[in-house]
A and B are shown apart, each in its own frame.
Chain A
């Protein structure tokens, strides 16, 4: 519930534009918060981007919530990917060494196998997440929303606070 309220307040504060593209970018960017271990520098940057760029902030929060369990499930795979990239890729060694000895960069924890693997995983999945989310939101608004609005349940929900979240997916 705390998360829902936070999303509601953030929606009111930040006034998301709410086009399918904005929602999809929000979900794609929010997924990095879920797919990668949270307390890292890159997530602070991602959070700042979500806040500053005119994309759907609540959709980003939704992306975070949706992809958090996915991140847990894929952690062993991320660990293997990170191990391969960090320890079995000699051409990349100078890059990693340079980053390791650079200011601030080490706070990203890029040298952790799970962090590196999940970052690569997110980089690979970001575009597919964006396109799938944009298509899904458009289809939803086109075919499902009008039918849904006529149901009793929807009317009941609409009367409740939870509807505020639902409005995120409607265009302005």
Chain B
């Protein structure tokens, strides 16, 4: 039998050749779709390319009409480029790797409007997870409340009710506990019931007092002593039980006293709760910036954290195998595992990228800009050099022209070491609402700067906005009385402030940094508030305190009284029983000792009896 079917070779070659031809014909479309799909996967929003032109023989690829949607604003493009020309190496393509020697971007524009939304049906798993983590952090950030709305309003004391406070409920619980302890101890005392034993002891003592060895005789004496010792043992046992009960009672009372301390703590908490109900503005802090600018700061930090995590996911440090979602297909996608190796080419490398753009007009941002990127790769540790990006304005039409961006994303070692510095001067800064004051603050033109440092999972940095011609606008306030008066005073204070310096510092874990917010506005408002509000705050707090005391005072008094009563009552009962039983024990011991004590302790009872039976004169004479 023949092993090979040689005549099949020709159709096979024709088939493979046909496949190759199809690949070449559709290569442009293939590259276009690949850039769109891969870009969309990475950005988490639509990435579109109008046209791709691949010239394998000449070693370059041209993309025209690139639009990258801003994932935070789907009707806006993050970046738009008229033309991107990439000079690629052919040999790495045989390893299914892309190595771009140089890349030039022309006709760059930022923040352009889109005709249609660039949001994608559910962001990719990676982006979704990052957003979920950042949103969870934002919800955890505690922004102190600042409101003047409660000022001057009649203090709504009716909101302070027994059901909404913790103290009355705990007092009831404590009283129930006191009653329960009382019943348990009364039962224990009743079970103990030493009265019959005490009576029996008294009868025995009386008998012993009236008896003597001579009248009892030997047998009677032995019998009497045996009975006496038995009663003595029972008395000792009862005494021990009373002592144990006494200890238990003392422990129980100590525990109830702790409950009283807890009541005092709860009263303090209830007072704080009542104070929050009254919405009294706090003037305790020297700087109200966290209250005023907290939400604004969180909204500005969120994108920063997102991109920090984004870079970390797609450019992890080290050379460990890393997983990515597999290609979309009818079958299960699975995951692609990359195996970067030192010295070998990464899956994707951009050795040098350059972008230039011109913004026309005569505005503050008009001018020529230049951006350079080196060392971008999917496995920086394999490439051995960190990613560096820098951008600056090379020529300005107007304004101070100080725009600079420098970033080093170092993932060469096993620990991420990133640093980013951005400084933009002469641009329009954001306008923001000042909560609690009924005013808006337009920072106008000023300086905005960002500093970001990362080492491993720890990040630290600063966002800062500085303006010297801030414009305050007051929204018409419906406030009346004291609130309107205080608002007016604060307004006069802050509206005179034209130089604004707002700084947000963040530090800690990359997924949950802590914030510190400082501004001259916050300090000024705080100072003004303290001056104007101290009397108002004192009066409102006094009302709150009185109302809380009215609601919780009686339960606390009752609880204390019950504990004192229980302590007195139980102690009295136990002390009485203990004294009675100790007394009878002492008497019984004395009588027994009288019968048994002898100058010759080893003398037998019969001899002692004989000796005690002789006339008293003989005894005294001996």
A residues whose Cβ falls under 8 Å from a Cβ of B: 13-14, 17, 37, 39, 44, 48, 51-54, 57, 71-72, 75-76, 78-79, 82-83, 86-87, 93, 96-97, 99-104, 106-107, 109, 111-115, 117
Partner of A101, one of B2, B4, B333, B341: B341
Please state if B9 and A52 are interface contacts (CB–CB under 8 Å): yes
Let me know if A115 and B334 touch, CB within 8 A. Answer: yes
CA distance A77 to B3 in the complex (A): 35
- Whether the Cβ atoms of B4 and A51 lie closer than 8 Å is no
B496 near A: Cβ within 8 Å? no
Question: Inside 8 A of B96's CB, which chain A residues have their CB?
Answer: 106-107
| Complex contact B4–A102 (CB within 8 A) | no
B window 318-346: CB within 8 A of A: 321, 323, 326-327, 329, 331-339, 341, 344-345
* Residues in chain B near residue A14, CB distance under 8 A: 5, 7-8
Report the Cα distance A39→B331, complex, angstroms.
11
Contact between A114 and B331 (Cβ–Cβ < 8 Å)? yes
Residues B326 and A54 in contact, CB atoms below 8 Å apart: no
CA of A24 to CA of B462, assembled, Å: 70
Most buried by B among A101, A104, A106: A101
In-complex Cβ contact of B332 among A44, A96, A114 (8 A): A114
Contacts of A107 in B (CB 8 A): 96
CB distance from A88 to the nearest CB of B (A): 10
For B5, the chain A residues whose CB sits under 8 A away are 14, 51-54
Nearest chain A CB to B413 CB, angstrom units: 19
Chain A neighbourhood of B95, CB < 8 A:
101-104, 106
Jot down 16 A-B pairs with beta carbons below 8 A, ordered by A. Answer: A14-B7, A14-B8, A17-B1, A37-B329, A37-B331, A52-B12, A53-B5, A54-B5, A83-B335, A97-B339, A100-B339, A104-B94, A106-B95, A112-B327, A114-B333, A114-B334
Known: A17-B1, A48-B12, A52-B5. A111 touches B336 (CB 8 A): yes
In whole angstroms, what is the CA distance A86 to B335 when docked? 10
B3 A53 Cβ-Cβ under 8 A? yes
**Shortest distance between the CB of B78 and any CB in chain A (Å):** 30
Chain A residues with CB below 8 A from B1, complex form: 17, 54
Known: A52-B5, A104-B94. A111 touches B331 (CB 8 A): no
Which residues on the B side are within 8 Å of A113 (C-beta)?
326, 334-337
- Taking CB atoms, residues of chain B closer than 8 Å to A37 are 329, 331
B621 within 8 A of A: no
CB-based nearest B residue for A17? B1
Return the contact of B321 from the options A75, A87, A101 (Cβ within 8 A). A87
**Most chain A beta carbons < 10 A, residue from B5, B97, B344:** B5
Name the distance in Å between A105's Cβ and chain B's nearest Cβ.
8
Residues of A within 8 A of B2 (CB): 54
**Which residues of chain B come closer than 8 Å to A79, judged between CB atoms?**
332, 334-335
Min CB gap B474→A, angstroms: 61
In whole angstroms, what is the CA distance A104 to B95 when docked? 6
A102 to B97, CA, bound (A): 11
Given A52-B12, A93-B321, A106-B95, A100 and B332 contact (CB-CB distance below 8 Å):
no
Are B94 and A51 in contact (CB-based, < 8 A)? no
A93–B333 CB distance below 8 A: no
B604 — which chain A residues lie within 8 A by C-beta? none
A51 and B8: CB pair below 8 A?
Answer: yes
Q: Which of chain B's residues have a CB closer than 8 A to the CB of A111? A: 336-339
B7, B8, B333 pick with most chain A CB within 10 angstroms: B8
Closest residue of chain A to B345 (Cβ to Cβ) is A101
Complex contacts, B337 vs chain A, CB 8 Å: 86-87, 96, 111-113
The answer for the CA separation of A165 and B97 in the assembled complex, in Å, is 44
What is the CA–CA distance of A82 and B326 in the complex, to the nearest angstrom? 12
Is residue B481 within 8 Å, beta carbon to beta carbon, of the partner chain? no
Q: A52-B4, A53-B4 are in contact. Are A101 and B344 (CB under 8 A)?
A: yes
Complexed CA–CA distance, A75 and B334 (Å): 9
For the complex, give the distance between the alpha carbons of A111 and B322 in Å.
Answer: 11
Chain A nearest CB: distance from B336 CB in Å?
Answer: 5
Residue B331 contacts which of A44, A53, A71 (CB distance < 8 angstroms)?
A71
Complex interface: chain B residues within 8 A of A72 (CB) = 331
The answer to whether A54 touches B3, judged by C-beta atoms less than 8 angstroms apart, is: yes
Our pick among A54, A97, A117 for the contact of B341 (Cβ within 8 Å) is A97
Interface-central residue, A44, A54, A96, by most chain B CB under 10 Å = A54
B258 within 8 A of partner (CB): no
CA gap between A96 and B2 in the complex, in Å: 37
> Would you call A51 and B332 a contact (CB within 8 A)?
no
A90 CB to closest chain B CB (Å) equals 10
| B573 lies within 8 A of chain A by Cβ | no
Asked if B615 is at the interface (CB within 8 A of a chain A CB), the reply is: no
Say whether A44 contacts B16, CB under 8 Å: yes
Task: Please report the C-alpha to C-alpha distance between residue A79 and residue B331 in the assembled complex, in whole angstroms.
Answer: 11
Starting from the known contacts A53-B4, A54-B5, A111-B337, 11 additional A-B residue pairs (CB-CB under 8 Å) come to: A44-B16, A51-B12, A57-B8, A75-B334, A79-B335, A83-B335, A99-B339, A102-B95, A106-B97, A107-B96, A111-B339
Q: Are B334 and A93 in contact (CB under 8 A)?
A: no
Query: How many Å lie between the Cα of A162 and that of B335 in the bound state?
Result: 41
Q: List, in ascending order, chain A residues with CB within 8 A of B323's CB.
A: 87
- B334 x A100 contact (CB < 8 A): no
B196 within 8 A of A: no
Q: Is the CB of B94 within 8 A of A82?
A: no
